[in-house]
Amino acid sequence: MPRFTVLVVDDEKTLARSIKLFLDAHGYEAEVAEDGDAALELLEKLHPDLVFLDLRLPKTTDLELLKKIREYDPHIAVVLLTAYGTIEGARSTSRNSGSWPTGRRRPRDSARR
């Protein structure tokens, strides 16, 4: 059975390697890219199920890379990471890339079941 694959895109080497080691130890296949160019190469090679994406990267903007990931496969789950931004900044990036859910969803009322 194929393993769940994760691409970690972060220029902070210590953090990226720590996430990779954690994922490896828990049975996931994980690779690290330190910039947008490396991320795009690994995207083609790895075909990840999930991408952890730092919002501030060298050689590309977060929005450009997020759009390219969505063009490659819109079903890849992307988790945005940042040590500098705000939640609103992350929402704005997601909305501008077409990744933010549109419309309002109400939480399920478990009492109705």
Sorted by where each starts, the structural domains of the chain and their CATH numbers stand as 5-100 (3.40.50.2300)
Q: Running DSSP on this structure, what letter comes out for residue 23?
A: H
**Residue with more model confidence, 58 or 113:** 58
Structure confidence at residue 26 as a pLDDT band (50, 70, 90)? very high
Owner of token pair 């910039």: 35
From first CA to last CA, the distance across the chain in angstroms is: 35
For the chain, what's the residue count?
113
The pLDDT of residue 111 is above 80: no
The pLDDT of residue 43 is above 70: yes
